[in-house]
Every structure is written in structure tokens, then in C-alpha cells.
Structure 1
Amino acid sequence: MPEPAHSAQPLTTADTRPPCLASIEAVAAGDRVDVICRGELDIGAQWLQPELYAALDRSATGVDLDLEGVGFCDCAGLNVLLDLRRVALDQGKTVTVRSCGPAVERLLDLTGAGELFKAEGAHGPAGSDSPVTSDGDPEPEPELELEVDVDEELRLEVAQLRRAMRTRPSIDVARGIVMASFGLSSEDAWTVLVTASQNTNTKLHHLAENLMGAVHGTPVAEEVRQQMAVAVAKVRGISPRSQEIPPGA
């Protein structure tokens, strides 16, 4: 009997989405989940959405974001956070930004989105300075509206996209170097670069430029070599000592 037509498998195509420059760690904290994010939140942050949704599902009341380790965030990255907030509201939960670095803080201030991620009661405990109804209950606060300076936001986004266009080629070349040097897949090579970048507190595009320089004989810093070796060993599940990068590489 011939197989039904719908059982045929479609041809696979390469995923052309930009790679993710960030990673997250989710930790249960009572009825909420703390989500610690590190790296750069740009258009590639869409790769994080399944993990963010999973963290939200694990919580009873929502998630608290720690964005201190985010060194770069553009409007595409912010949209990922806003989408998480929308999904949380649909589930009767909340998403708050517990802490953030200068890059995220500036974007939240420019767009006015910071108000949307504040914890309940951030403006003062209910029942103290809050207005009350005739029944003595705290009067509900009016829903916040996002006020965006469109011109400023567009200028910011254009500047960030130009920066991304300048740094992407070197990052892609560095990933190819790691793939060829250690026989890793594209995904594992990306994990190695991001891990080494985070552990050495080095911008990813700076790390990429260092690796590209190594091809022409410029030595890689000892700390970077060690962290690269550790990262390679981790994705392979073997001892870091066997993955040492030669001083001249």
C-alpha cells in the first residue's frame, strides 16, 4: 500500500537566522523564576524565546530578569522581552527587570519601556500613600502606556544595526576558525565563542578579532587561550588539558 502523500518529509533548508549572542540561566525562586541573561540582545535574541517561555511556564507568578550581564541591547532584543511580557500577561503573570546594565537601562529610558517591567508596588506599598476607594481598598493604578520617541528610537536602532553589520563578518570568520581548528559543528563553535567571551569579559567581536589575528601570527592572550580550551572541552565532554591552544595560535 503506498504511503499517504502527507507523510512525505519536506526538504530541509539552512536556517538563515542570525546567531544568538546571549545566553540565559533560569533559577527557581519560590513562586517565581529568576532569569539571568548575559551577552548581547539583538535580532538573534529570538533564539532565546523557547527558553524564556519555558522559564515562564515553570513559574507560578512570573519571572524576574537580571540583565546586568547584557552589554548590548537594541530594539529587536527589547521586542523579545516585550513579547515575553505579553505572554505572561495572558497567563496572569508578570515580568520584571530586577537589575540591568547601562546599555539596557538607556534603551528602557529612551523608549519608556522601563515602566512596563517594574515590580508591583515599586512606586510605594499599597495602602500607604496610594489612593483608596470608599471601601478602603487601594484604588487600582491606571494602565501604563508605552510612550516612545520614534525618531530617537529609529536613530538608535540604525546605529545599532550598523554596528552589528560591522562586527558580524569577523564573528562569523572566528566561528569558522574554531570549527576548522577543533573539528566542531557550527553550533558548538558558537557555544565556545560565547562561553569564552563571557568568561573573559571580552566583547564577542573583540574576541573574534583576536582569533583572526592569531591566523596571521599574533598571539592570543593566555586567559583567552585557557577559556577557549575549557569551552572546547565542555562541548566535547573531555578534559580541558587536551584542548590547550598553542601560544602562537
Structure 2
Amino acid sequence: MAVTVSGEYRLDHSQYLRRCARDALARSTEGIDLDLGGLTFADSSALNVLLAVRGLALADEKTVAVTAVSPAAERLLNFTDTYTLFSAAHGTADRGGGTEGPDTEEALLRTELVQLRRALRTRPDIDLARGILMASFGLDADEAWEVLVTASQHTNTKLHRLARDVVATVRGAALPEPVRREITATIARARREGGRPPGGTDAPR
């Protein structure tokens, strides 16, 4: 069964998406295909819903596969190392279809476990980094998330590593110079384009 998610996704939409995805999953025979091609913004709560729904699907021997992604959705999945969990090939292996043998399926399951553990382990750092940016620059949660994701993409740094660097500034550590410049530039750009609230003028050091 196909499910299309479009527009901006924020924490307030979590219950609605979870309910719709669960309903589609219950009415499907093999699982659901997610079209995220029209998603223009997504925060970390979107990933939480996707992982929760995928867990329900696996319990019922079904799949949740992402068939199309927008730039926003692609950033969310890539920089949290969870994109492969929702690939069509991965879903086929989970169902026992295709030509993969037991060794391949076991390897995929090991990879999935590592990725899920990493996502759970790194989320506190990401949430703390968002809080630091919010307090330092007067950003709201969505704006702070966008700053982190944009800086992560432009500096080719995994999101969880960049978040750890931001959190370390509270203990007096300095941000890597490329990251500091990119965060400063991203916040300045956001204020010019959207009239963001006034705050600090430089990134954490």
C-alpha cells in the first residue's frame, strides 16, 4: 500500500502520521511504500515515527520502504544513517523474497541493529545541540534543526558528529573552523531571509 507524505512535517504532526501509517500497515498485505518526494521540511520527530512504524511492520513480517525522497527527507535519512533501513532492497530481504541467502539476510540484520543503536545513542547529543543553538541564538526547535542539518551537509560532517562538537563547546572546546563558519553563515542567511529573532552574532566556540 502506498502512503504519500508532503509539505512540512513537525512534532505536532507526529500522532497524525503515526495513526495514518499504522492504519495503512494494518490494511496492507506485505507492507507500505512511503513516497516522501513532496516533503519540504522534516524534523527528528519524523524519523522517530518512521522507525516506530517500521518496528511494527517487522513484528507482522511486513515492510516499510521509502520509494521517493525530497532533498529534506534525503538529508534526514542520510545524516542519521538510517536510509538503508527503508530501502526497497532491504525490505525484500526482510520479507524473505529475492535471491538473498541466509548469510546476506543475517548481514543485513546486523547492519540494521548497528544503525538503530547508533540512532538511539546519538539522539541525546542532537537534542542537546539543538537546545544550545536555541538558547544562544533565539531560534525555535525547527530552526535549530535546520541549522544543524544544513551545516552537516555543507561541511560533509555526519549530523551526530557535528552535534557532539556543538555540545562540547559548553565544556570550553572549540568548534572546527569550517563548522563554526558554516553555522554562523547559516544563521545569518536564515535571519536575512526570514527575519529570525535577534540573538548572538557568532557560532559557539
- TM-score class normalised by the smaller sequence: 0.5 to 0.7
1:164-243 maps to which residues of 2 (within 5 A)? 164-237=119-192
1:42-61 maps to which residues of 2 (within 5 A)? 43=47, 46=50, 52=68
Distance in structure 2 (CA, Å) of the matches to 1:170 and 1:53: 26
1:71-82 maps to which residues of 2 (within 5 A)? 73-74=81-82, 77-78=83-84, 80-82=86-88
Distance in structure 1 (CA, Å) of the matches to 2:176 and 2:84: 34
CA contact (8 A) 2:151 2:186 kept: yes
Matched, 1:147 2:121: no
CA contact (8 A) 1:196 1:224 kept: yes
CA contact (8 A) 1:196 1:231 kept: yes
1:83-98 maps to which residues of 2 (within 5 A)? none
Distance in structure 2 (CA, Å) of the matches to 1:14 and 1:71: 22
Distance in structure 2 (CA, Å) of the matches to 1:158 and 1:54: 26
5+ residue gaps, structure 2:
1-10, 18-35, 39-45, 51-64
Distance in structure 2 (CA, Å) of the matches to 1:15 and 1:71: 20
| CA-to-aligned-CA distance 1:71-97 (integer Å, 9 cap, x gap) | 6644xx346453xxxxxxxxxxxxxxx
Tell me, what secondary structure is at the counterpart of 2:14? coil
Match of 2:22 in 1: none
Distance in structure 2 (CA, Å) of the matches to 1:174 and 1:166: 14
Match of 2:20 in 1: none
| CA-to-aligned-CA distance 1:89-133 (integer Å, 9 cap, x gap) | xxxxxxxxxxxxxxxxxxx6xx596xxxxxxxxxxxxxxxxxxxx
1:245 equivalent among 197, 202, 205: 202
- In the TM superposition, residue 243 of structure 1 has moved relative to its aligned partner by 6.1
- In the TM superposition, residue 147 of structure 1 has moved relative to its aligned partner by 3.4
Number of residues of Structure 1 aligned to a counterpart in Structure 2 = 143
Match of 2:62 in 1: none
Could you tell me which amino acid in structure 1 is paired with residue 14 of structure 2? D
Distance in structure 1 (CA, Å) of the matches to 2:159 and 2:69: 26
5+ residue gaps, structure 1:
1-11, 18-23, 27-41, 56-65, 83-107, 114-144
- In the TM superposition, residue 172 of structure 1 has moved relative to its aligned partner by 0.8
CA contact (8 A) 1:226 1:244 kept: no
CA 183–14 in structure 1, closer or farther in 2 if over 3 Å, else same: farther
- In the TM superposition, residue 244 of structure 1 has moved relative to its aligned partner by 4.0
| CA-to-aligned-CA distance 1:180-232 (integer Å, 9 cap, x gap) | 11111111110000001111111111111111111111122222111101111
| CA-to-aligned-CA distance 1:141-173 (integer Å, 9 cap, x gap) | xxxx63344332222211111111211111110
Match of 1:162 in 2: 117
CA 177–73 in structure 1, closer or farther in 2 if over 3 Å, else same: closer
TM-score w.r.t. structure 2 length? 0.52
Distance in structure 1 (CA, Å) of the matches to 2:169 and 2:111: 33
What fraction of aligned residue pairs are identical, expressed as a percent?
A: 35
